[in-house]
Every structure is written in structure tokens, then in C-alpha cells.
Amino acid sequence: MVGLTYDDVLLLPQATNVIPSEVDTSSRLTRKISLRTPLISAAMDTVTESRMAIAMARQGGIGIIHRNLSPEDQAQQVRQVKRSESGMVQDPVTVGPEATISQLDELCGKYRVSGLPVVEDGKLLGIITNRDLRFIPEEEFPTKTVRETMTPMPLVTAPANVSKPEAARLLAKHKIEKLPLIDDDGRLSGLITVKDFVKTQQYPNASKDAHGRLLVGAGVGYLSESWDRALLLADAGVDVLVVDSANGEAKLALDMIRRMRGDSAFDDVQIIGGNVATQSGAQALIDAGADAVKVGVGPGSICTTRVVAGVGVPQITAIYEASKACGPAGVPLIADGGLQYSGDIGKALVAGADTVMLGSLLAGCDETPGDLVFVNGKQYKHYRGMGSLGAMSSRGKRSYSKDRYFQSDVTSDDKIIPEGIEGQVPFCGVLGSVLYELVGGLHQTMFYSGATTIPELKERGRFVRMTSAGLRESHPHDVQMTVEAPNYGGR
């Protein structure tokens, strides 16, 4: 078998009357979930925590929260995404009347909210927001209570079944930012905020669940302790769980998917299995009950599996082979790792993928975890493989991701066999502008291919294989680049 990857192929230009800005990039993430933007941010500790997941979902994609965190912290990250914006917060964070302003401040910081309903024994007593705190000196925060400071009932409220237009009317009429919803006994049953209305208009493509909350995924392992982690995440409202393994065909990983699929706790959760790189690997995941199959063994920019273990399949061939199992079964395929340019997205889709997962292309964004690093006056962000020594070693805190590489029994850091490296990528600003370039590139692919939808692109796309001279010709050549383009060389 010959193994080809992104740099080995190009898509043939075709007759077209498609206008790039009018194409529809919606595609299936799993059996039950579709995304308007077929992009996923990788479950890596230098790529996806709640901030990134929120930004991805707002743009119509989805983020998978990494699992190099305690189960509680990971579930907390999921909750932050689910609470970040929605038509209505069903289970709002609240504060008790006897809490101090310092405690309130901590809660608001933790949940990234600007104010909270004040509740005692389920009953709404009042509301406390930035407005109430504006004239309180900071020295008084540790002693002043919420009861002394809040705006008490009667407040403008609405019943739980209030319609969206009516809620918007009440917010506007009373010039308020938060509308608590209460039942006949005055018990708090939800909260609508003006911010949510603004966000809905600002991000019309956002990926949302039936309650208007942003979609989010999270990675889990397959060892016995992963079961409790998965239950915690399901309880936190996660939409998608990715059973995350460097060899998705390993019996333990398949058993985990089978067990989850057979348990009603995961009825509302879509399960992604991976990673595999062959038809039989994809078939094994489908047979175990996976709702999507993730493909990629060794293509990642930070991955050394192919040289350390000598194992892997170049990514275009891996996608094509796996799609032979996924296509007939109607199970979506995720192409994970190895994408360097926007043009690789269309290549992955034509090879058989439905969505793509990105690490290095997003790691330089403002929304990723970690601070900016300055090197010779240029700005960078750290980016490391989950199989790197740094991610798998304890270094003072526990690593939760060693089992991705089947090394969870390794107790000392000098016995780890890394399958990834640690590095940095240029800082590239906010995710919104990076995705604008990536999705814009996909629009162009669709124009050249004469496709107005992703299924049409998958159907119509045809490859030509290149030589190394063809690849050299594809990139700028024989000219010294003086200005970096935002989607080439400037990242």
C-alpha cells in the first residue's frame, strides 16, 4: 500500500458557478450533531480549555477540553462553556445572602459572570451585580455581606416559560441586564441575561444544544478511573466525549466505548472513538458503538510516534482507508492532525473526512491556555504534544494523560517513552480572525471544486498526485517574501 499525505496531493480545478461567500460549510460531527463550521480544536493542554471551547463553538465549530486535569477541574471547564451563553440559564450560579463580597467576587471570577441572583432555600431574595458594587471600597469586601449590598426583591422577574421576545421586551423596558425567572412560590428557576441576546446576534453560526447552550466536548481515557471522570463530565452537561487513545483499536479503548454506549448515563452524549488509521480500525470503533471515528496515527506536528515506534499511516491514505468503513455505516469521520494550511481542510474532506481536528493551526491563538512567550522580540505560545515528556511527566503535579500512550503504569518520569515534543508557535491573535482565514480558504476550495455544500465537495472532489517538484512549485518560490500573508508564512 502507498501512503500519501496532504503535501502529496492537490484537488483538481473544476467547472463552477459557485460564489465562495455563498457556500454552506455545514457538516456532520457525529451521528447526531452537525456543525456549521467543520473544525474542532484538539484535546491538548496547550490548545483547548473553556475559553478556547467557547470561542470555537461561537464560530460554529467545537472544542474538546483536554484531560490533563483532575476530573473535577475538567468538569468545571465543561460547566463554564455550558453556562457561557444560552437563551436561558436553567441552573444559574447563585450566592447566599450571608456570603461576603470577597466570596461573591471569587464566584463571579470562577464562572466569569458579572452578577448573581441571591437565593436562600431556593427562594429569590434579590440580585447583586457590578452596579451594586460600584461604590463599595475594596477594603470592605471581606466584611460586607451580600444581603447588605444586593438589590432586594421586588425585582423585575418573569415566569419560567416566558417567551424570548417577551424577555427581550422586559429587559429593554426596565433597562436591566438580568431577568430572573421564578415560579409561583418565588423560587428561582432560571435566568435570562441581555448578554445572551447580544451574543446570539453576534455569532449567528454558533454551535448550540436544544437549550441554546454552546456545544462542548471533552476527552476521557479508558482505564477504570476514566469511568467516574466520564460520569462527572456527562453530569456537567458535556455534549461529546472523546475516548482518547493513541491506538483507538486497543481492546481497553473499545471496551470503554462499548460500556458507555450500554449505560443510560450517556444517552444524551455522543461518543467519539480514536485514533485509528485503517479500515479495520475504523470498523472496530463503529462496531463498538462510536458515533464518530477519529483518524490520525502520527501526522501531528508535535508527534514522534512514527519515528519512535515506526508506526502510522500518512494522513490522506489513512482518511481514505477509514472512510471505507465509515461511509457505508453512515458514521462521520474526523481527520485529526497534520493540517498545515487552509487548503488541507478541503483535501481532508475530499479524502473522506466530515470534519477536521486542529492543534498547531490554533495553538498560537489568544484563547489557548498559557502565556505569551517573547523570543527576539517576536511573540509565541507554547505548544506541546500530549505524549511529550512535559505533558506525561509529573513535574510536581499528576499527569492524567499518560494512558493515551499506554504508559500509565510508569511511575518515574525517567521511564517515560515520549511520543511527542514540546515547542512553540507564533502568536496569531484571536481565534475569530484565524478561523476567518481557515474557513475562507475552504470557501475557495469549494468554489474551485464547483461545490456549494460539503457533501457535494466530498462527491465532486478529485485528486491529482504531485511530485516533490510539484510541491515546490505550489509554494511561493524564487522570490524573497517581503510581506507575510495572514494565511501563509505569517503564522
Binding positions are 244-246, 296-298, 300-301, 303, 336-338, 359-360, 383-387, 419, 473-475
The reply on whether position 302 binds ligand RVP by CB under 6 A is yes
Residue 273 engages ligand RVP in binding (rule: CB under 6 A): no
Which of residues 388, 399, 424, 445 is near ligand RVP by CB under 6 A?
A: 388
Q: Does 339 bind ligand RVP (CB under 6 A)?
A: yes
The 3 state secondary structure assigned to 358-371 is ECHHHHCECCCCCC
To which H or E segment does residue 340 belong? none
Q: Assess 190 for contact with ligand RVP (CB under 6 A).
A: no
C-alpha cell at 55: 470561542
CA–CA separation, 71 and 331 (whole Å)? 28
The angle at the Cα of 319, spanning 314 to 20, to the nearest 5 degrees, equals 110
Closer of 42 and 325 to ligand RVP (Cβ): 42
Site size toward ligand RVP (CB under 6 A) is: 24
Least CB distance from residue 223 to ligand RVP, whole Å? 18
Query: Do residues 230 and 260 touch, judged by C-beta distance below 8 A?
Result: yes
Evaluated on CA atoms 193, 194, 195, 200, the torsion sign reads positive
- In whole angstroms, the minimum distance from the beta carbon of 43 to ligand RVP comes to 7
Instruction: Give the footprint of ligand RVP on residues 23-62 (CB under 6 A).
Output: 42, 44
Return the range that interacts with ligand RVP (CB under 6 A); candidates 3-11, 126-134, 162-170, 355-363.
355-363
The dihedral sign for the CA sequence 299, 251, 244, 295:
positive
Q: Which is nearer to ligand RVP, 267 or 414 (CB)?
A: 414
In three-state secondary structure terms, 206 is coil
Burial class (CB in 10 A: 0-12, 13-18, 19+), 296: buried
At its nearest, how many Å lie between ligand RVP and the CB of residue 65?
13
Q: Which residues pair with 270 in a beta bridge?
A: 240
d(CA 336, CA 40): 9
Q: Measured from the CB of residue 385, what is the shortest distance to ligand RVP in angstroms?
A: 2
Taking the least distance from each CB to ligand RVP, the nearer of 191 and 431 is 431
Our finding on whether 419 is near ligand RVP (CB under 6 A) is yes
Closest distance to ligand RVP from the beta carbon of 136 (Å) = 46
Q: Is 424 in the site for ligand RVP (CB under 6 A)?
A: no
Residue 337 engages ligand RVP in binding (rule: CB under 6 A): yes
Query: Is 196 a binder of ligand RVP (CB under 6 A)?
Result: no
Question: Which of these segments, 23-31, 116-124, 335-343, 442-450, binds ligand RVP (CB under 6 A)?
Answer: 335-343
Question: Is residue 157 involved in binding ligand RVP (CB under 6 A)?
Answer: no
What would the grid cell of residue 107 be? 464566584
> Nearer to ligand RVP by C-beta: 92 or 420?
420
Which residues are annotated binding-site positions for K(+)? 298, 300, 303, 473-475
74 vs 193, beta carbon nearer ligand RVP: 74
Would you list the DSSP string of 32-80? Answer: S-EESS-EEE-S-TTT-SHHHHHHHHHTT-EEEE-SSS-HHHHHHHHHH
Min dist. Cβ of residue 351 to ligand RVP (A): 16
Angle at alpha carbon of residue 438, lines to 437 and 440, rounded to 5°: 65
For residue 356, state whether it binds ligand RVP (rule: CB under 6 A): no
Q: 392 burial class (0-12, 13-18, 19+ CB within 10 angstroms)?
A: buried
| Cα–Cα distance measured from residue 311 to residue 275, given in angstroms and rounded to the nearest whole number | 13
Under the binding rule (CB under 6 A), the answer on residue 300 touching ligand RVP is: yes
| Grid cell for residue 237 | 452537561
In whole angstroms, give the CA distance from residue 272 to residue 289: 9
Encode burial over 221-240: b for 16+ CB neighbours within 10 A, e otherwise: bbbeebbebbbbbbebbbbb
Pick the piece of the chain touching ligand RVP (CB under 6 A) from 184-192, 195-203, 351-359, 435-443.
Answer: 351-359
Near ligand RVP by CB under 6 A, which window of 126-134, 157-165, 282-290, 295-303? Answer: 295-303
Under the binding rule (CB under 6 A), the answer on residue 296 touching ligand RVP is yes
Q: How far apart are CA 343 and CA 466, in angstroms?
A: 15
Write out the catalytic residue numbers: 303, 404
Q: Which is nearer to ligand RVP, 248 or 352 (CB)?
A: 248
Tell me the Ramachandran region of residue 16: left when phi exceeds 0, alpha when psi lies from -120 to 50, beta otherwise: beta
In angstroms, how far is CA 456 from the centroid of its own chain? 26
Which residue among 385, 416, 442, 449 contacts ligand RVP (CB under 6 A)? 385
**Is 284 a binder of ligand RVP (CB under 6 A)?**
no
CB of 145 to ligand RVP, least distance (A): 47
Q: Binding-site residues for IMP, please?
A: 301, 336-338, 359-360, 383-387, 419
- Considering the complex, what minimum distance in angstroms separates the CB of residue 51 from ligand RVP? 18
Cα–Cα nearest to 332, from 26, 78, 60, 58: 26
List phi, psi (to 5°) of 66: -70, 165
Where do contacts with ligand RVP occur on this chain (CB under 6 A)?
42, 44, 275, 296, 300-303, 305, 336-339, 357-361, 385-388, 419-420
